[in-house]
Amino acid sequence: MVENRPFAAIFSHVVLIIGVVIIAFPVYLAFVASSTDATTISNGQLSLIPDRHLIENYAKVLFEGTDRSTKQPMIVPLMNSFIMAMIIAIGKIFISLLSAFAIVYFRFPFRNTAFWVIFLTLMLPVEVRIYPTYKIVADLHMLDTYAGLTIPLIASATATLLFRQFFLTVPDELIEASKIDGAGPWKFFIDSLLPLSMTSIAAMFVIQFIYGWNQYLWPLLITTRDDMQTIVIGIQKMLTVTDALTEWQLAMATTILAMLPPVIVVIAMQRLFVRGLTETEK
Amino acid sequence: MADVVLNLVGKLYAGNIRAVSDVSFAVPDGGFCVLVGPSGCGKSTLLRMIAGLETVTDGEISIAGRVVNRIEPMHRDIAMVFQNYALYPHMSVYDNMAYGLRNRKTPEAEIAARVAEAARILELEPYLKRRPKQLSGGQRQRVAMGRAIVRKPQVFLFDEPLSNLDAKLRGQMRVEIKTLQRQLGVTSVYVTHDQLEAMTLADMLVVMNRGRIEQIGEPLYLYENPATIFVAEFIGAPPMNMIGLDPAVGIPAGLSGAESLPVPPTGAMLGIRPEHLHLDRGDGERGSRLRLELKIDAIEAVGAETYFYGHLGSTGPRLVVREAGRGVVPTDGARAFLADRAHIHLFDKASGRRIEM
């Protein structure tokens, strides 16, 4: 479907550029806002060129916090979010790899039942089961801990299904060759399955990291202490100020900061994606 | 000393599907046994049972005097070459060959020596650092062979290893496998559906059909003395000509000299190989030879030999004649061919078994 028609080329470029502008402009605006001072923003005189308060604002947000609302350095929730997202992403991948491995390669009673139970949890996202989950986490004294923040979010049907689908495409002869080469199930998993799933793992990591990073409702419920807060909640708290002006330039700086880690993850992992896609194994 | 002995081996899959029944044979130490048969005849299942990849539901398999029915593949001291090579795509050629040795805790220095030797034998030295996907089909096949060789196993198992290669490469690799097996003297079991491969490789040929053994023996013995109609038609290309003889109907038109054949009341099949039919040039005695009159449809002259395709007595069964050299016969002409009594085969139509004459 590669056609060389100048009009089509121009048209598709125009559409793409419009799309990029629609998505990128608010981000740019946030960036510009994060580089000005409070007066300029509250006067509504935001220019389209970044101002000179850039470093000053970011340093303040990171290490001192706002003057009026939360008054905490944002480095703490940033770290919390990062730890949470990492635990969720890695934990999900780890558990899903193991459960998919069990479901695909082992014959045990109720294997299909196990698969369908995992599948069913797809229909029960955190929001639906939030009360019982909260109750369990509270009873286990896991409020305000990383464990309470992450464990309920780790169990994942999507990742299990994805890895299951991938494992099913691995040729049976490879397993048989491993058996004859003297590799037991665990060695087969480590030596063959894991290296072969590298690209799916990278894809899963990107998706789950962003999923973990963007969690809002669950951290809101489970954390009460300021030092356990995540960045998404940090932003939200920054905006609600009583009897004063919201410090928009600081809020915008935090927003930009909150956006960076997922962007970095995507960019870093994109290389792995592309490499995995261009050098097709098998 | 590693012979492979199968004693009344059978395989019953879940759902009462019988894949293999009552298979017994023994491959002597250093022997090259080829299992041949059409697809679905159970030959691969049998091989996989020897490898330990399928459970044995009946009978016993022993390797080097040890019953292996309940022994894991890795402890059977076998190596297998798969149809799709089954190379580890994420490992280099070197690692592919070294993997089995590493799992057996072989010292790294010895692994290096063995891989180097295998690479030298198989001419893989320039490719040791490459990944399987950077190799051609023939090279991948060699890596799969190398993976088997480095282990120095007691038995090699080959599961249609050449079927993914093109015809030219297949012929070349066939010779290589044979040479290599002779050189190493390792007992081998080889599965194929290609009768040419089977004939050229085997010391011992096992012809299978519908999960049962049809006949076992040296390839040329089977060629000359097929025990059943199935073997007669399966071994040899072009296949043996078959002419139905039914006492109730009488001798088919175009065939003479067959009156004295011991045809049972249920009927028989008369088999004559294409090369055992010779043009009746009208010179010399016909003697006790059979005479077949063919209406020729087509002639293929391929240089060293000429193939005649025709129908017996113009409407009878289709026959092929292979005549050495170049015969000149006008197409759609009628010609007579002679067959020596010593070279004809007779089979019971009902049981398919050979009738000795």
- What was the pLDDT predicted at A247? 82
- What was the pLDDT predicted at B218? 95
pLDDT band at B237 (very low <50, low <70, confident <90, very high): confident
- What was the pLDDT predicted at B286? 72
Cα–Cα nearest to B4, from B271, B203, B225: B203
**Which residues in chain B have Cβ-Cβ distances shorter than 8 Å to A281?**
89-90, 133
> Is residue A3 over pLDDT 70?
no
Pick among B77, B99, B111, B131 to test the A interface (most A CBs inside 10 A) = B99
| pTM listed for this prediction | 0.81
Compare CB distances from B103 to A181, A281, A282 and report the shortest one's residue. A181
Pick among B45, B47, B55, B74 to test the A interface (most A CBs inside 10 A) = B74
Q: Where is pLDDT greater, at A2 or B219?
A: B219
Per-residue pLDDT of A94-122, as tens digits, reads: 999 999 999 999 989 999 899 998 888 88
For residue B187, list its beta bridge partners. Answer: B155
**Which residues in chain B have Cβ-Cβ distances shorter than 8 Å to A191?**
88, 99
Contact A179 B103 (CB under 8 A): no
Contact B79 A180 (CB under 8 A): yes
**Which residues in chain A have Cβ-Cβ distances shorter than 8 Å to B79?**
180
Which residues neighbour A69 within 8 Å (Cβ) at sequence distance 6 or greater?
A237, A238, A239, A240, A241, A246, A247
From the CA of B217, how many Å to the nearest CA of chain A?
29
Is the bond into B238 cis (omega within 30 degrees of 0)?
yes
Q: CA A93, CA A208: separation in Å to the nearest integer?
A: 8
Per-residue pLDDT of B310-323, as tens digits, reads: 999 878 889 999 98
Q: CA B180, CA A34: separation in Å to the nearest integer?
A: 74
- What was the pLDDT predicted at A281? 45
Inter-residue contact B47 to B27 (CB < 8 Å): no
**Which residues in chain B have Cβ-Cβ distances shorter than 8 Å to A183?**
74, 99, 103
> Is residue A202 over pLDDT 90?
no
Say if strands B204-209 and B32-36 run parallel, antiparallel, or are unpaired. Answer: parallel
Q: Is B311 exposed, middle or buried (0-12, 13-18, 19+ CB in 10 A)?
A: middle
Inter-residue contact B5 to B33 (CB < 8 Å): no
- What was the pLDDT predicted at B113? 94
Is the minimum CB–CB distance between A192 and chain B shorter than 8 Å? yes
- What was the pLDDT predicted at A276? 55
- What was the pLDDT predicted at A277? 56
Is the minimum CB–CB distance between A26 and chain B shorter than 8 Å? no
Per-residue pLDDT of B253-295, as tens digits, reads: 888 888 888 888 889 999 999 999 988 877 666 777 888 988 8
Per-residue pLDDT of B128-153, as tens digits, reads: 999 999 999 889 999 999 999 998 99
- What was the pLDDT predicted at A282? 39
Place of tokens 């049981």: B351
Place of tokens 């088919």: B252
Contact A177 B89 (CB under 8 A): no
pLDDT band at B356 (very low <50, low <70, confident <90, very high): confident
Task: List own/partner pairs for B68-73 with CB under 8 A and 24 or more apart.
Answer: B72/A179, B73/A176, B73/A179, B73/A180
Supply the DSSP string of B176-191, one letter for each residue. HHHHHHHHHT-EEEEE
Contact A171 B133 (CB under 8 A): no
Supply the DSSP string of B271-291, one letter for each residue. EE-GGGEEE--S-S--TT-EE
**Which residues in chain B have Cβ-Cβ distances shorter than 8 Å to A282?**
89, 133
CA distances from B261 to A232, B114, B251, B253, B312 (A): 97, 60, 10, 16, 18
- Asked whether this complex has an ipTM greater than 0.85, the answer is no
> Is residue A273 over pLDDT 70?
no
> Is residue B64 over pLDDT 80?
yes
pLDDT band at B347 (very low <50, low <70, confident <90, very high): very high
Q: CA B304, CA B220: separation in Å to the nearest integer?
A: 22
Report chain B's mean pLDDT, rounded to a whole number.
Answer: 90
Collapse the DSSP code of B38 into the 3-class scheme (helix H, G, I; strand E, B; otherwise coil) and give the result: coil
- What was the pLDDT predicted at B331? 59
Q: What is the dihedral of CA A133, A135, A140, A143, to 10 degrees?
A: 80
Q: CA B47, CA B17: separation in Å to the nearest integer?
A: 18
CA distances from B345 to A273, B254, B348 (A): 65, 18, 10
Q: CA B235, CA B233: separation in Å to the nearest integer?
A: 6
Compare CB distances from A180 to B51, B88, B90 and report the shortest one's residue. B51
Per residue, the 3-state secondary structure of A133-199, as one string, reads HHHHHHHCCCCCCHHHHHHHHHCCHHHHHHHHHHHHHCCHHHHHHHHHCCCCHHHHHHHHHHHHCHH
- What was the pLDDT predicted at B329? 61
Contact A177 B79 (CB under 8 A): no
Pick among B103, B154, B155, B158 to test the A interface (most A CBs inside 10 A) = B103
Per-residue pLDDT of A130-152, as tens digits, reads: 899 899 999 999 899 999 999 98
User: Searching chain A, which residue's CA lies closest to the CA of residue B159?
Assistant: A173
Specify whether domain A75-278 bears CATH 1.10.3720.10: yes
- What was the pLDDT predicted at B316? 84
- What was the pLDDT predicted at B219? 94
Per-residue pLDDT of A234-256, as tens digits, reads: 888 888 777 777 788 888 899 99
Per-residue pLDDT of B24-58, as tens digits, reads: 999 999 999 999 999 989 999 999 999 999 999 99
Per-residue pLDDT of A46-102, as tens digits, reads: 788 888 888 888 888 888 877 766 678 888 899 999 999 999 999 999 999 999 999
- What was the pLDDT predicted at B322? 92
Structure tokens at B320: 């092929």
Which residues neighbour B199 within 8 Å (Cβ) at sequence distance 6 or greater?
B205, B219, B223, B235
Contact A196 B89 (CB under 8 A): yes
Inter-residue contact A42 to A244 (CB < 8 Å): no
**Which residues in chain B have Cβ-Cβ distances shorter than 8 Å to A188?**
none
Stated as kind and residue range, the H or E segment containing A75 is helix A75-105
| Average pLDDT of the residues in B99-103 | 93
Q: CA B159, CA B145: separation in Å to the nearest integer?
A: 12
